Amino acid sequence: MSLQVAEIYQIPIKLHYSLVLVFFLITWTLAYGFMPHYSPGLNPMQYWIMSIIGTVILFLSVLIHELSHSIVASRYGIKVKQIVLFIFGGVSDIEEEPKDFNKEFKMAIAGPAVSLVLSALFAIFWWITTAIIMSSFDESFKTILIIINGILFYASFLNLILGIFNLIPAFPMDGGRILRSVLFSRNKNYDKSTRIAVRIGVIMSYVFFGLGILTILSGSFVSGIWIILIGWFLQNGAETYLYQYDIMKILSKIRLHELMKTNVISVSDGLTINEIIKNYFNIYMKSSFPVTKLNYEVVGIVTLKRCSNVPEHERDTINVKDIMFPKNKIKLLKVNDTAEKALSIMIKENQDKILVCDDRDILEGVVSKTDIIEAMDEQKSFFQQSQ
């Protein structure tokens, strides 16, 4: 649901389709609200120009904010898969969370810090143009300056909001991560720090609920609803974060040899396409098989789709070896790897199962998403009953 528009520092930048609607909505709100309110006396055309530029600056500011996180992350060797700009702002898709307070702190603070610096820079230029407008007598020159001045004011304001809003100490905001890294640097307990940070996030959400209700009671209905929505967003974020964190924690304690299925059917790398279709795909009704040597060392994976793509008259001459996904193209896991690792690879690579081998790549078993979910449910009910 998103479109790649650029690539910066080898990070794909994507726009979510919902942005088209948001772009129009924001521009419209600026043209009829913010800009005429801030710079009265201009004509509608001029307000539209100010608003379109303002909205573009908004998107660029969100992008720069996200890029700042990503650049620090890649400095630490953490891969950033992509940045997606969508209806509520931007998301950096970072491969894993650093479990090092120094790294997490720098990565999290980079975004708000850059937003606040941008806000200050725009404010300086805004101040300069304001001073020139006051002393200028040429009317047409003054109009252009008033337009630029309004845009600068908005740019400074929005970056200030972007910086401050992200500093709210609650997951999934940057402030939540900053808080956790500070706690973690003091108590050296990642788990405890995460839980405290999540709890503070929930408390923050109640503060926003309370503020929202007070705002509504004082007569500003729309602002009150906005504040309550922020509270809801924070609460939801905290709960989702803790849920995922707990799942990953349980999974990080399960080794693959505890849950893998060991009765795996594999095919020999010397078979022809016709043999494998007749003796394996048609009999076992599976969409893929691991390909192994005689000693069960994995050399690749063959799929039904690839076999079907081979023209029928060639199926007796072409070998499984020639059309399989070779070993270096697939992810093999070891028996002592964790279920957490397996699940994140499955999610990332969008695959349902993964082969498990010993240190010499001898096939030991296979793990599917279902196996992981079942094991997780068992552990969860064990924890619930033992509490």
The binding site for Zn ion (CB under 5 A) comprises 111, 166, 174
Least Å distance between CB 197 and Zn ion? 15
Please give the residue whose beta carbon sits closest to Zn ion in the complex.
111
Which residues neighbour 11 within 8 Å (Cβ) at sequence distance 6 or greater?
A: 67, 70, 74, 80, 81, 82, 83
Least Å distance between CB 68 and Zn ion? 8
Q: Known catalytic residues?
A: 66
Beta bridge partner(s), residue 314: none
Nearer to Zn ion, 179 or 291 (CB): 179
Least Å distance between CB 351 and Zn ion? 30
Is 37 labeled as ligand-binding? no
Nearer to Zn ion, 69 or 353 (CB): 69
Question: Which H or E element spans position 261?
Answer: none
Nearer to Zn ion, 27 or 68 (CB): 68
Contact 174, 237 (CB under 8 A): no
Is 65 labeled as ligand-binding? yes
**253 CB neighbour count, 10 Å cutoff:** 11
Least Å distance between CB 174 and Zn ion? 4
Cis preceding-peptide flag for 326 (omega within 30 of 0): no
Nearer to Zn ion, 39 or 92 (CB): 92
Gap between the Cα atoms of 237 and 344, Å rounded: 20
Nearer to Zn ion, 114 or 247 (CB): 114
Q: Locate 179 and state its tokens.
A: 């808080």
Nearer to Zn ion, 83 or 307 (CB): 83
The DSSP secondary-structure symbol of 314 reads G
Torsion of CA 57, 62, 63, 69, to 10 degrees: 150
**319 CB neighbour count, 10 Å cutoff:** 14
Query: What is the pairing mode between strands 288-292 and 267-268?
Result: parallel
Is 377 labeled as ligand-binding? no
Nearer to Zn ion, 178 or 291 (CB): 178
Residue 24 CA: distances (Å) to CA of 28, 55, 56, 159: 6, 9, 11, 20
Gap between the Cα atoms of 213 and 230, Å rounded: 12
Contacts 24+ apart (CB under 8 A), 159-162: 159/61, 159/115, 159/116, 159/118, 159/119, 159/122, 160/115, 160/116, 160/119, 162/61, 162/62, 162/65, 162/89, 162/112, 162/115, 162/119
Question: Which H or E element spans position 102?
Answer: helix 101-135
Q: What DSSP line would sit under 60-97, residue for residue?
A: HHHHHHHHHHHHHHHHTT--EEEEEEETTEEEEEESS-
Least Å distance between CB 71 and Zn ion? 12
Least Å distance between CB 198 and Zn ion? 18
Beta bridge partner(s), residue 378: none
Least Å distance between CB 138 and Zn ion? 42
Residues annotated within the binding site are 65, 69, 174
